[in-house]
Amino acid sequence: MEGEESTIIPAPGDGKSAVSVWAARVVFVVLGLSVLALGAAILLPGNSDGETTAFGTTFDTPVQTEDGQDTTFGEVLADQPRVINFYASWCGPCRAELPDFDEVSLRVEDQVQFVGINVDSTETTWLSFNQEIPVSYDTFFQPNSEIRRAIGSSAMPTTLFVSADGELLRTHSGILDDDSLIQILEEEFGAEV
């Protein structure tokens, strides 16, 4: 029949109902707001009184020193720019970058604080690894990875570049050689290397 328009009527259950489209939009909005809230929580500055720091954890997060003393993350941080490196003995790239980190840390020790956070499963493994590949800066043990999880990183190694006032300037996942590390220190902190 020429000239006639045909109308297709969907079978019951075909397509999406207005309710399911509306529900999907609500879920999308809620998820979006959750992501924004998480981002704000990670980036809001705090202080050493247990508030959230600029990189999403608390200064009260426990870490262990090499001599077996329990302390908090806030107690080990200096009031200067800092490089916080998460490493483990089972991580090949961690093993490769630690000598470069040590060398660079010695060149900028009066400008930038280097801190190592080991996430091995046992204190014995951490201490043995520190003897195998020693560094001149302080390292701490945190087997539950609270700090690394708070910043949302699962990669190893992960390195944070944090300003003196606690602002997370950059996160790097993966290995850094000495040239790349120096470039970031110059860019982010104005360090003279």
Angle of the 92-107 helix axis to the 178-189 helix axis, nearest 10: 50
For residue 36, the model assigns a pLDDT of: 36
Pick among 3.20.20.140, 3.40.30.10, 3.90.550.10, 3.40.50.300: CATH of 1-193: 3.40.30.10
For residue 12, the model assigns a pLDDT of: 52
Q: Which residues contact 77 (CB under 8 A, 6 or more apart)?
A: 59, 113, 115
Question: Tens digit of pLDDT for each residue in 44-97?
Answer: 333 333 344 445 455 667 787 788 888 777 777 778 899 999 999 999 999 999
For residue 45, the model assigns a pLDDT of: 34
What percent of the chain clears pLDDT 90, i.e. is strictly above it?
39
Omega before residue 10 within 30° of 0, cis: no
For residue 174, the model assigns a pLDDT of: 94
**How many residues appear in the chain?**
193
Ranking 25-39, 60-74, 121-135 by mean pLDDT, the lowest is: 25-39
pLDDT classification of 167: cutoffs 50, 70, 90: confident
In the DSSP assignment, the letter for residue 156 is S
What percent of the chain clears pLDDT 70, i.e. is strictly above it?
64
Mean pLDDT of 150-161: 82
* Contact assessment for residue 120 and residue 89, using Cβ atoms and an 8 Å cutoff: yes
Question: Whole-number mean pLDDT of the chain?
Answer: 75
